[in-house]
């Protein structure tokens, strides 16, 4: 990377973590990030539109304006829609699981929501997930239709550095990631505090700060070694994503029925099947992800 002077990937990572992410993660009330979250959403919408413009404008197709300035030429197979039935399609399914794992922050979002009635919370969740689904579908579709088999784990890496429109997209996505990071981080920190059974009365500012420094240090160390974003997204989705989306909710529902002394009804049995499907999908997805990179 370069911003007027040469910096390595590790230097950039340490700089962003220390100067941007650490101060954001040390915040105790995330409601002040709401304006920046809106900026992040607008940035993702801009990126979606930009990708559509480049696809329909055929700027990266054969003879296109930028095709000679990219590292990998777009490549497409002949399998068609039938490829969806391949086991490799589970890699994408596992990646998509990462897009819907906000469950652990739901109580916090509900508490901090203005006029936090359940109907209003349902409305916010429905609208948020609807926007997320639409953006994921369009971005994934435009990216794959533009670059095919050479699509990078971070699709913006496929676009030419001479493409000004997409350069602004990189800036927009960076802003979106930076200001959404604390939302996921707080969920992780609170989850660890629960795991270690730290009572709420003992969660002082000092304790929270120590956990924040420790978790960020570990995450930054891992990030310095893991460079394949596609593999990280696929394996993370296959393990944590499928667990949060398919397995844990089903287990919680069945346990709740048992605690109430109720017989396992149709809903409980369906939850069991969903949990089993999540386990199978996660296991196959993990194996296929590693096979995809030759591990």
Secondary structure, 3-state, 48-105: HHHHHHHHHCCCCCCCCCCHHHCCCCCECCCCHHHHHHCCCHHHHHHHHHHHHCCHHH
In eight-state DSSP terms, residue 154 is S
The confidence score (pLDDT) of residue 212 equals 93
**How far is it, in rounded angstroms, from Cα 174 to Cα 190?**
25
Number of H helices, E strands in the chain: 12, 0
Distance CA 96, CA 38 (A): 22
Read off φ and ψ for residue 147, nearest 5 degrees: -120, -15
pLDDT > 70 in the chain, percent: 94
pLDDT of residue 145: 92
- So what's the pLDDT on residue 163? 93
Q: What is the pLDDT of residue 50?
A: 95
CB atoms within 10 A of CB 128: 13
d(CA 21, CA 3): 19
Per residue in 229-254, pLDDT (tens digit) is 777 777 888 888 888 888 888 898 88
Element (H, E) at 184: helix 164-195
The list of the chain residues with pLDDT below 70 reads: 1-6, 30, 100-104, 292-295
Give pLDDT, residue 216.
93
Say how far apart CA 236 and CA 76 lie, in whole Å. 27
Three-state SS for 240?
A: helix
pLDDT at 77: 79
Q: Tell me which residue has tokens 């971005």.
A: 139
Residue 293: per-residue pLDDT = 58
**pLDDT for 53:** 95
- pTM score, whole prediction: 0.72
């Amino acid at each position: 990377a370069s911003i007027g002077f040469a910096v390595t990937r590790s230097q950039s990572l340490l700089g962003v973590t220390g100067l941007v992410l650490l101060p954001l993660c040390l915040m105790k009330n995330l409601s002040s990030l709401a304006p920046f979250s809106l900026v992040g959403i607008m940035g993702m919408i801009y990126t979606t539109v930009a990708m559509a413009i480049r696809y329909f404008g055929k700027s990266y197709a054969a003879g296109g304006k930028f095709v000679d300035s990219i590292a990998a030429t777009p490549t497409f197979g002949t399998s068609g829609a039938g490829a969806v039935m391949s086991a490799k399609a589970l890699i994408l399914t596992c990646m998509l699981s990462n897009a819907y794992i906000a469950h652990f922050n739901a109580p916090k979002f509900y508490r901090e929501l203005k006029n936090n009635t359940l109907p209003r919370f349902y409305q916010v969740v429905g609208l948020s997930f609807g926007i997320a689904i639409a953006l994921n579908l369009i971005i994934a579709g435009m990216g794959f239709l533009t670059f095919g088999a050479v699509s990078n784990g971070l699709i913006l890496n496929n676009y030419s550095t001479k493409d000004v429109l997409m350069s602004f997209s990189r800036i927009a996505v960076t802003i979106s990631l930076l200001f959404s990071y604390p939302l996921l981080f707080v969920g992780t920190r609170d989850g660890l505090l629960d795991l270690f059974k730290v009572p709420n009365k003992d969660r002082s500012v000092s304790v929270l700060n120590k956990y924040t420094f420790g978790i960020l240090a570990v995450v930054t160390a891992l990030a310095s070694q893991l460079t394949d974003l596609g593999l990280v997204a696929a394996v993370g989705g296959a393990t944590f994503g499928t667990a949060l989306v398919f397995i844990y909710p089903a287990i919680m529902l069945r346990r709740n029925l048992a605690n109430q002394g109720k017989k396992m009804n149709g809903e409980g049995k369906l939850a069991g099947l969903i949990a089993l499907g999540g386990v199978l999908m996660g296991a196959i997805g993990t194996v296929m992800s590693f096979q995809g990179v030759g591990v």
